[in-house]
Amino acid sequence: MFIKQVIIHGFRSYRDQTVIEPFSSKSNVIVGRNGSGKSNFFYAIQFVLSDEFNHLRPEQRQALLHEGTGQRTISAFVEIIFDNHDNRLPIEKEEVVLRRVIGAKKDQYFLDKKLATKTDVMNLLESAGLSRSNPYYIVKQGKINQMATSPDSQRLKLLKEIAGVRVYDERKEESTVLLRETEAKRSKIDEVLQQIHDRLKTLEEEKEELKQYQTWDKMRRALEYTIHDNDLNDTKRKLNDLAKKRENTHGKSQELQDQLQTATKNIKVVTKDIKDLKSRISTIKEERDVLMQEKQSLIKRKAKLELVSKDLQDELESDSSRRKSQQEELSQIKKQIVAKQAELEKLIPNYRETRRKEDEISARLEWLEQRRRELYAKQGRGTQFESKEQRDRWLHREIKSLEKAIADKHDQISRLQKEIETDNNKVSELDSQMSKLQHDIDQMKASMERQNNSLYELKQQRDTLQSERNALWRQEATMQQNITNTKEEISKKAQSLRSITGRTVLNGIDSVQKVIDHFREKGIHREVVDGYQGLLIENFSCDSKLFTAVEVTAGNRLFHHIVANDRIGTLILKEMNKHKMPGEVTFMPLNRLECTAPINIEDNDAMPMLSKLEFPELLQKAFVHVFGHTLICRNMEVAAQFASKHDCDCITMDGDQVSRRGALTGGFYDQRNSRLELQKSKTELQEKLEELERDYSQHQDRLTDVESQVTAVIHEMQKTETRNNKDKDRHEQFKSDWKLKKDLCQSIQRSFAPKERSLQSLQSSLEAMGASVQSYKKELGTELLSQLSSQDQCEVVDINAELKRLANESKAVVSERFKLESKKNTIENLLNDNLVRRKEEITADLQDISASEKTQRLEGAKQELQSFGIRFDENKEQLEEIDNQLDSLKKDLEGLQTTLEENKQLEKEANDTLGDDSKNLEKITNKQSVLLKKKEDCMKKIRDLGSLPSDSFDKYAKLSSKQLFKKLDQANSELKKYSHVNKKALDQFVNFTQQKEKLLQRMQELDRGYSAIQELMSVLDNKKYEAIQLTFKQVTKFFSEVFQKLVPGGKAQLVMRRGEIDQEQVENQESVPLVEQFTGVSIKVSFSGKAAETREMSQLSGGQKSLVALTLIFAIQKCDPAPFYLFDEIDQALDVQHREAVASMIGELSENAQFIITTFRPELIETADKFYGVVFRNKVSHVDTITREQAQDFVEDDQVHG
């Protein structure tokens, strides 16, 4: 075992957490300047391991905390990690961590990060060899000098500590105290024995007079016994007479009580029945009002539906006639359209042929006119131009202009052809779109019909569910009324129960319930919630005949709180006190109730009360505690007999009690105010309420389910109506789009004819311009003439003749075309603007006049009317049934009220009679109490007489009372003569004799103990002497060996000094313990080994004294080895030679133990294994691992600058 690592934080100069690298298991050297914190490092280890820093005051703890600039240190700790491979510490771990934490107000030890006590820590360290009796495994600065200069007596004290004689001293001190106590007890017993001896002499003289006194006293007691026995017999006779009288009265009272109980029960039953009837009448009236309201609602809705049905029927009839007329008109229009279309189809070919001829003639005319103009222009160019070249230039310009115009015409023709083609494509696309729209319109119409059918079915489903929901609502109202009535009854029972109980107890019950509810809501103290069993009255049941007996027996204990253990009761009380809750609470903790075995008697006249109660097995202790020692008896006489015989409490069925001590209590108990009866009724009502609430919960689930179905159906209806409305909008939108596209198609078709004519006109113009270009090109290069050639002139003549002929043909063709076009336009206008448009209007109107929707609406209205009719009939039947129930219930109510009055009269008569009987019973009970008390007094007086001779019971039995009292007066007169006699002389004589014997025995025991203590003290002195001698021999041996190693050739020894003994002590040698003869330990050394040069400590130099002191320390350590040693500058006063010897010694010892040493000298560095440097920066100490060379450099530097 050795110190593996040290961690310091906040301790003295070590402000920051300083983790020192692991130490070597052999020799470790720490170097540092003065004031750097080396000593504080040793103090830190000593702070954890030694007793020096125990019992610190607050200011001393504060002084150990780091003080410097910056944040204030409020706590510090030093942690030592031990290597425990050898298991020297009795802990099954290879590393053991010991930490001590200190603050201004705390001082704690932690062992392996767990809190430990200081005693446990010190015992653990002592078990590892770190003994408090030998603290020299830590040697601080100055300890060497202190030992070198200490006197011989101090060294003897040190030797005693090493030898462990403290244990013997402590035991001897304890024995000395016991010896003094024994001497004091012996002295006290001697005094008491002397007093007893004197008292026995006096009592011997008083015994003769006492004998005469006892003779007369026996006579007096015999007479008194006879007198008291006569009184006792007379009292018993009177009690028997009263018991018979009470029995007779009790019989009559029992009959009346039975009558009263029957009447009371009948009143309760009838009152409850009346209340139930009134509640039912009220509920039925409310239901009748609901049915009447429903009836009015049905009448209004039925009338409204009848009007709606009539309107729909009228609309259907009107739509039917209008639809018929429109269908006839549509048929006629279709026929006209067919005829006109046939006529138009015949007319159009003629019209197109005439139009073609007209276009051909116009084109020919236009060409001829153009050619004639060209020829005339050619004739005029002879005068127009001066030369051929000028004419050709002009012709080129004209050709170029015409070619450009021809190109423009081609572009126009191309554009026009593209427009015609685009229009044709547009018409085809529009036809396709119109077909798709028509298909969508048909589909939308079918979808709307399907949705109308679905909506009709949903309405029927909604009506069915609403009817069921209305019925459930009526049932719900009835259930709510029943639950309300039951809660009111429970509240009344609870209020009655509360009125009987005390206010403080009630407040306590409420407070406890609040605490339990609070714990349950917060989810805390689950053991309290589970362990609280409720009140005693809530946890048992019994026959109603026993209510009076049980209630009288338990009393206020009925309202005690049963808990599993006392901790639960304590927690509830703490919570009540915390929140200042009012009330008085009594707990019955099952773990603390001390219950003897319950009484168990089988008899025809008595039975154990506990056997008639039903309660949970878990709570048996509580019920044994309250009822386990009570018997239910047939009558008072039986109760008195069993109470005295079996030492138990007895009670009759009427509540009359006989205590085990003889006390009688009783009287009349009004069973109408029975707490158990009220509790029973309350429990039954609570069970009924739970059943009603279960049914109501199931009913609510069903109602919720129906309402959710109604909501789902209505939601589906709304979705269907929304979809239907959207489909209608889309249907109208489709129709509108179809109409727009049709109009657009017709517009495009109408534009075809003008565009075709324009195309023909452009083509004709193009041909004419082409001919002109050809003519101009032919003319190029020809001779410039002033007159046309003969050919050209002939051509002009032909052109004019053809123009004339074509003009006449054109007039005829145009006239024909006008006729045909007029006829065609008339037919087309009739078709498009009149017949087709009217057909579309009628078709659209017929589509709008859809009989299916209105028929469905009419069928729905009829179905709803039919369901309303059925509901109306049901409503009527329910109203008739409710009226019959009301009449029947009112008759039953009148009968019950009559029965109630009769029972109340019987109850009043029985109460009056019972009141009189109760007074008589009370008088009898009072007399019985007086007689029983007299009986007890007589029996007590007889018992007080003590034991009597056997002849005393019958000796004076035949004497009369007068004779007995006369003899008693005579005996009392004689006894007065002996009034001075000590009545207890004989008893005192015997008592004092016994005390004397006991004291003599006690004296002998004390003598034996005194001798044993003296013997023990002698043994302890011998053992102490042996321990000192043995330790002295060992230390002396090791001292000589170590000194010879440190000083080769030198010699040293320890000498035990004894004190001088005077002559008296010599004569009585046994009285002086051997160990007390030792006065000190001196040291004699010789550094040369010569006897002549042997010197004592006072004769040595400072360095020699230090070496001898070190020798003694090493010797002590060899005698009592430790696992590690801490030396603080032990070589300070030694010369070089001795330092080398000490270093060699430590190197040798480090094979079996760890050394941690501070030094300013190089010799110890040479033999060390690991080195640490302590530096002081910014008022904070730091420890770092360094090399041997750095340590030597530091020592050399310190010596140079020292």
Do strands 1124-1128 and 138-139 pair parallel, antiparallel, or not at all (unpaired)? parallel
Q: What pLDDT is stored for residue 986 in this prediction? A: 56
Mean pLDDT score, 771-783: 78
Q: What pLDDT is stored for residue 534 in this prediction? A: 92
pLDDT band at 573 (very low <50, low <70, confident <90, very high): very high
Mean pLDDT score, 112-130: 83
Sign (positive/negative) of CA torsion 814, 815, 817, 818? positive
**Is the CB of residue 806 less than 8 Å from the CB of residue 372?**
no
Percent of the chain with pLDDT over 90: 9
Angle (nearest 5°) at CA 103 between 102 and 105: 115
Neighbours of 459 (CB within 10 A): 17
Q: Which residues contact 23 (CB under 8 A, 6 or more apart)?
A: 2, 3, 4, 5, 6, 1154, 1156, 1170
DSSP three-state, residue 4: strand
**Is the CB of residue 381 less than 8 Å from the CB of residue 785?**
no
Q: What pLDDT is stored for residue 614 in this prediction? A: 92
- 1180: enclosing H helix or E strand: strand 1180-1186
DSSP three-state, residue 786: coil
Q: What pLDDT is stored for residue 1060 in this prediction? A: 58
Amino acid at site 330:
L
pLDDT band at 1068 (very low <50, low <70, confident <90, very high): very low
**First-to-last CA distance in the chain?**
38
DSSP three-state, residue 654: coil
**Mean pLDDT score of the chain, rounded to an integer?**
80
Most confident range, picked from 260-274, 545-559, 882-896, 941-955:
545-559
Can you name the residues that pair with 110 across neighbouring β-strands? Answer: 99, 115
Q: What pLDDT is stored for residue 1070 in this prediction? A: 44
Residue (of 493, 458, 922, 540) closest to 711 by Cα position: 458
Q: What pLDDT is stored for residue 1071 in this prediction? A: 47
**Is the CB of residue 121 less than 8 Å from the CB of residue 111?**
yes
- 354: enclosing H helix or E strand: helix 166-384
Q: What pLDDT is stored for residue 1137 in this prediction? A: 82
Is residue 264 exposed (0-12), middle (13-18) or buried (19+ Cβ within 10 Å)? buried
Mean pLDDT score, 1017-1046: 80
pLDDT band at 98 (very low <50, low <70, confident <90, very high): very high
Q: What pLDDT is stored for residue 165 in this prediction? A: 66
Cα–Cα distance for residue pair 1170/1071, rounded to 1 Å: 57
- Between 889 and 918, residue with greater pLDDT: 889
Q: What pLDDT is stored for residue 650 in this prediction? A: 92
HSE-CB of 678 using CA atoms within 13 angstroms: 21
Neighbours of 270 (CB within 10 A): 20
Q: Which residues contact 750 (CB under 8 A, 6 or more apart)?
A: none
DSSP three-state, residue 1150: coil
Mean pLDDT score, 728-739: 85
- 78: enclosing H helix or E strand: strand 75-83
Q: What pLDDT is stored for residue 328 in this prediction? A: 82
pLDDT band at 512 (very low <50, low <70, confident <90, very high): very high
Cα–Cα distance for residue pair 411/762, rounded to 1 Å: 10
Q: What pLDDT is stored for residue 705 in this prediction? A: 92
pLDDT band at 318 (very low <50, low <70, confident <90, very high): confident
Percent of the chain with pLDDT over 70: 89
User: pTM (2 decimals)?
Assistant: 0.40
Q: What is the CA radius of gyration of the chain?
A: 69
pLDDT band at 516 (very low <50, low <70, confident <90, very high): very high
Residue 511 tokens read as 């407070």
The pLDDT tens digits for 711-726 are 998 998 888 888 888 8
**Which DSSP state fits 564?**
S
The pLDDT tens digits for 25-66 are 889 999 988 888 888 888 888 888 877 777 788 888 888 888
Cα–Cα distance for residue pair 615/635, rounded to 1 Å: 27
The pLDDT tens digits for 431-455 are 888 888 888 888 888 888 888 888 8
pLDDT of 947 over the 70 cut = no
Q: Where are the alpha helices (DSSP H) in 501-589?
A: 503-522, 526-531, 547-554, 566-578
**Which DSSP state fits 651?**
E
Residue 667 tokens read as 């009287």
Do strands 561-563 and 532-535 pair parallel, antiparallel, or not at all (unpaired)? antiparallel
Sequential DSSP letters for 900-913: HHHHHHHHHHHHHH
Question: Which of 251-265, 607-621, 1139-1153 shows the lowest mean pLDDT across its residues?
Answer: 251-265
